[in-house]
A = this chain, B = another copy of it.
Amino acid sequence: MMNLVNLQGKRILVTQSDAFMGPVLCDVLAECGAEVVADTGSLLTVGRIASLVESAGQIDILVANLAIPAPGTQAVEVTDEEWETVFAHLVTPLPRLARAVLPQMIERQAGKILLMGSASALRGMKRRSTYSAARGAQLAYIQALGVEMAPHQIQVNAIAQNLVENPTYFPPEVQMLPVFQERIKWEMPLGRLVSAREDASFAAYLCTAAANCFVGQVFPVCGGWVPR
């Protein structure tokens, strides 16, 4: 029987592998046959990113898993420090990662970048202005990079997730709050959180050769929280 999500022979770099979707991504990608390079180091400096990629050897696929707990600040109280910190974690590493990892992909005329992004960039939420802005920068970056890299047979795409089980954003104590239950009931056509493995499985699919047809595309994975 055919196995469409066979990642044998693929070396996949997963950043922030101990946060956000990192752990489940490493599990699922490895179960699909990939050789996972799981990095838990900081991505805050350009030097660290360059040396990470250099020491990682061949990278067939980069899974850009970037996370920071979302501040819940009112817009009028957002400080420059909050803004800078969130952008330093979620946005600035992206072009640096691209700069580090794309040359070898361009040379091979093959490769993929998959961003684990957020649907908070697609639908507004209160007290999420900083976070949404950073996530919006990510998605628009991926759209542009995808179009630019397509002629090199390199696919750059993004998952835009929300309401997916993960320890960074939806720890059990949040899931138990009555207001959270109400939110699921009203905002989530799925009626439950998306499971971590559902999200990671879709990411794994997007890492396969079968997904070579997608160009700078943003895939919502949020149980219907955004309609498209």
| This protein's copies in its complex | 4
By size class, the interface of chain A is: 35 or more
| Chain B hits for A5, CB < 8 A | 2-5, 205
Complex contacts, A204 vs chain B, CB 8 Å: 4
Q: Judging by beta carbons under 8 Å apart, are B4 and A124 in contact?
A: no
Residue ID in chain B nearest A220 by CB atoms:
B217
- Comparing A17-25, A166-174, A185-193, the segment that makes contact with chain B is A185-193
Chain A binding surface, main DSSP class: helix
A203 to B91, CA, bound (A): 30
Say whether A44 faces chain B, with CB atoms less than 8 Å apart.
Answer: no
| Chain B residues with CB under 8 A of A151 | 191
**Known A33-B1, A78-B95, A124-B189; contact A148-B136, beta-carbon cutoff 8 A:** no
What are 27 contact pairs spanning A and B, CB under 8 A? A1-B33, A3-B3, A3-B6, A4-B204, A5-B205, A75-B98, A75-B148, A91-B137, A95-B133, A121-B140, A122-B227, A126-B144, A128-B144, A129-B148, A133-B137, A135-B140, A136-B138, A137-B140, A143-B227, A186-B186, A189-B215, A197-B210, A199-B213, A214-B224, A217-B228, A218-B228, A228-B228
